[in-house]
Chains A and B, each alone.
Chain A
Amino acid sequence: MRIAEHPVLEFRRESLHTFVFEGVEVEAFEGESLAAALWARGVRGLRRTSWGVLGPFCMIGYCSGCLVEVDGRRARACLEPSRPGLRVGMLGDYVPRPTGEQPGKAEELEVDVMVVGSGPAGLSAAIASGESGLEVHVFERHFRPGGQLLKQTHKFFGSGELFGGLRGFQIAERLVSRAKEVGVRIHTRAPVLGYFKEGFFAVSEGGRLLLVKPRAVVVSTGAVERLLPFPGNHLPGVMGAGAAQTLMNEYGVKPGERAVVVGAGNVGLIVSYQLLQAGVRVLAVVEVMPEIGGWLVHAAKIRRLGVPILTRHTVVRAEGSEQLERVAVAVVDERMEPLPGTEKVFDADLLLLAVGLTPESRLLAQMGARMVWSPELGGYVPYRSEYMETSVPGVYVAGDASGIEEATTAMLTGRVAGYSAAVRLLGPRRDLLEKREEALRLLREARKTPFSARVVRGLEKVVVRVAQ
């Protein structure tokens, strides 16, 4: 179902057309992903596997719950923009096989700075390098630039300098237009496939292979939502909180009617409020800890609208035949084990997991950057200098790929990385060094909150001091 009217967002719905999914005509608007159009049509399961039907979990191209066949080619429905007349079908169990397609001749592209990912970190890095006078190319796998800012409808904390008071999607608009202003070239639908030791990156763009040879690289690939193990977690209707945000806030598609949210961190609290704005009933927010994890003000916003926050509770089971129908939760004891006899069952068609993120840093690992497991930063992250340079000279990291924080710090680490790339290529110009110092100062200030204490502890173990 599509959201007809929204209190904060306006959805541009133009060029209505249809595509075919498993023999059924599906209506879609220009700029919608296949996954969004299918969800709006009421299609929940997109893949039939030997253990059941799967639906989308992440909606940003990482899980394979929406892997389908599009005109004979495998594609993730969440990354595929709808076009008239497409023939889409279910894939079944995934068996990699050659497609028989012959790639065209590879094209080579030499650039000053290559930025991988166009979220808050990548765009900020691109702007910093672009402003310095370098030729910057951003590569984004999605068909719209902006990353996860696009689906943030709440106003951001902060000060004016860091876009405080603006809504996330408004910040994305500003960053994209500023990047274009300073001459940054943003390639969309252009996933970076990997790095070759001869010094180039393979990028797939518009059906052709692009070999990008950069003089400096910023990896700002973001993060992936975590899954939680419990019976039934594969059922369509169980998804990451971010996936629901993609549906309702980017595409105006109602993710469900009755929701349970797991996790009372900022993501869980904010998504609950956004569900209410989209007209979805939020039956409960379930939190395993004795306290909420996010800011009190975000919790107060949903409590005053009658949403219960069940602390010391966890989800024990999701039930349903072809899609989610019920969610069972229970009280946990001191060891976080569910207590028998405390189960509550909710009739819900949507179960959102907001149980944390893990850095998407595989490109850096593949490039040979020295990585380390950091529980405080959410997973495998690269060692880096305080100027965001990894162990591979000229390769920088920024945003959640360097450790899970939030959008403001992502923009700041992006700025630091972008100026560092400029310093490497243009020399230690005073204006560049000053701007980088200012970004570092703001970063230190932003990390002084109680929430950042853990991140700061993690950073102490992965930031390597180097003489400049």
Chain B
Amino acid sequence: MRRWSCVWRSRGYLEVEELRSMGLVPPPERMERGPVAVAECVEEIPCDICAAVCRLGAVSVEGLRGRPRIDWDRCTGCGVCVGACPGQAMFVVSLAGGEGRVTLPYEFLPRLAPGMRVKLLGRRGEELGVGEVERVFEVNKTQVVTVKVPRELVMEVRAVWPL
């Protein structure tokens, strides 16, 4: 087996276009309908936690090492996989009700709570503005945080940081 050699391995993150070309980005119509998971996991990691925790059977991983695939019709965007994924590569995006929302994992201090305002960070750590935390729950000490973001940034915001 050969080591992959891809531009993302020299830069350390994936661009949205790369995810889209691999068929991993749900169509805008689906995002308009409500929250849906995005699996930004493209290497053959021997892991199937996301599929194991999904009670709707919406995530499938071929063998132990396949890439996770989301069934966009089954997924309700509950976010359990976001908190469970050891690689922090699961996100939930939504454009429902005319508003943009991203659900992402957070493991820093202070602990976040609904109503708090946070810095929005992009894939390379660039600051993308300020957003408001809407909902928080916890999976084994990982906070799963839903934050309101501008609609055009649902595939760009990938981290939050306390203001």
Contacts and interface: CB of A to CB of B under 8 A. Distances in A.
B86 A449 contact: no
A274 to B, nearest CB: 10
Given A165-B49, A304-B123, A449-B46, A297 B12 contact: no
Contacts of A164: 47-49, 52, 86
Given A297-B41, A306-B121, A448 B49 contact: no
B5 A277 contact: no
Contact of B107 (A8, A291, A307, A445): A8
Instruction: Kindly name the residue among B1, B86, B109 whose own CB sees the greatest number of chain A CB atoms within 10 A.
Output: B86
Interface in A269-290: 276-277, 279, 290
A292 B107 contact: no
B74 interface: no
Contacts of B124: 303-304, 306
A157 B45 contact: yes
A273 B158 CA distance: 15
A166 B45 CA distance: 16
A5 interface: yes
B64 A300 contact: no
A76 B138 CA distance: 40
A157 B12 contact: no
B153 interface: no
B3 A453 contact: yes
Nearest to B44: A449
B119 to A, nearest CB: 10
B107 A7 contact: yes
A292 B12 CA distance: 7
A276 B10 contact: no
Interface residues of B, number: 49
B108 A304 contact: no
A393 interface: no
A104 interface: no
B3 A446 contact: no
Contacts of B161: 305
Nearest to B1: A453
Interface string A50-69: 00000000000000000000
Interface in B32-63: 40-49, 52-53, 63
Contact of B47 (A8, A157, A307): A157
Contact of A7 (B1, B8, B47, B141): B141
Interface string A144-182: 000000000011111110001111000000000000000
A170 to B, nearest CB: 8
Contacts of B21: none
B78 to A, nearest CB: 17
Contacts of A155: 49, 84-86, 140, 142
Interface residues of A, number: 44
A304 B121 contact: yes
A309 interface: yes
Contact of B109 (A5, A299, A309): A5
A298 B88 CA distance: 8
Contacts of B111: 7
B10 A159 contact: no
B1 to A, nearest CB: 5
Nearest to A8: B141
Q: B2, B108, B122: which has the most chain A beta carbons within 10 Å?
A: B108
Contacts of A156: 86
B89 A300 contact: yes
A167 B8 CA distance: 27
A295 B43 contact: yes
Nearest to A269: B12
A158 B161 CA distance: 29
A453 B52 contact: no
Contact of A297 (B84, B87, B123, B159): B87
A165 B87 contact: no
Nearest to A442: B64
Interface in B71-109: 84-89, 107-109
A167 B139 CA distance: 12
Interface in A386-400: none
Contacts of A8: 107, 141
A453 B125 CA distance: 32
A445 B64 contact: yes
A300 B1 CA distance: 24
Nearest to B126: A306
A157 B49 contact: yes
B14 interface: yes
B10 A157 contact: no
B13 A299 contact: yes
Contacts of B84: 155, 165
Interface string A1-41: 00001111000000000000000000000000000000000
Interface of B: 1-5, 8-14, 40-49, 52-53, 63-65, 84-89, 107-109, 111, 121-126, 140-142, 158-159, 161
21 contacts: A6-B109, A7-B108, A7-B111, A7-B141, A155-B84, A164-B48, A165-B84, A277-B107, A279-B109, A291-B9, A292-B9, A296-B8, A297-B43, A297-B88, A300-B89, A302-B12, A303-B12, A304-B158, A448-B65, A450-B43, A453-B1
Given A158-B47, A301-B87, A449-B45, 5 more contacts: A8-B141, A264-B12, A290-B10, A300-B12, A300-B88
Interface of A: 5-8, 154-160, 164-167, 264, 276-277, 279, 290-292, 295-307, 309, 311, 408, 445-446, 448-450, 453
Closest CB pairs A-B (n = 8): A306-B125, A297-B87, A299-B12, A157-B47, A155-B86, A291-B9, A304-B159, A300-B13
